[in-house]
Amino acid sequence: MTRADLPCILGMEQSEFLTPWSEESFRHAIETPNGLNLICQRGDEVIGFLTGLVVLDEAWITNLLIAREHRRCGFSRRLLACFMDRARVRGALHVFLEVRQKNEAAHQLYNKLDFQKIGVRRQYYSDTREDAWVMRKTL
């Protein structure tokens, strides 16, 4: 992911999320030394992205989105696999993420990839006051 990808990423983010990340948030993700940020392309078109970071032996996935018309085609799985491979190379032993309690599609994907629910952040999402499940996968 580079700054050149931001216009497309911001458009996707704003069309899909009630409280989208700001351009500043994405710039910070790109510029942080611990960042591990990926895009998914089909031809020249950006169809998805993943932001995350690796700190010591932990990797955190902070944002993941695939464009609606490209969902259920395996792109999330590929992004996650690439992220986990690169995180492992950087020394990560575990990958963590937070996911909305009601996001059944994401739960199914993460369960297939052997993520385990390890906790709940009550009323974590400010837009809906929905709980977030904290999930972990050992690499």
Please list the active-site residues. Answer: 98, 110
Q: How many CA atoms lie within 13 A of 61 on its CB side?
A: 28
Contacts of 129 (CB under 8 A, 6+ apart): 123
The token duo for 45 is: 């078109």
Q: Which residue has the tokens 């931001």?
A: 6
Phi, psi (5° rounding) for residue 58?
-120, 140
> How far from 11 is each of 15, 17, 39, 64, 109, CA to CA, in Å?
6, 10, 14, 14, 24
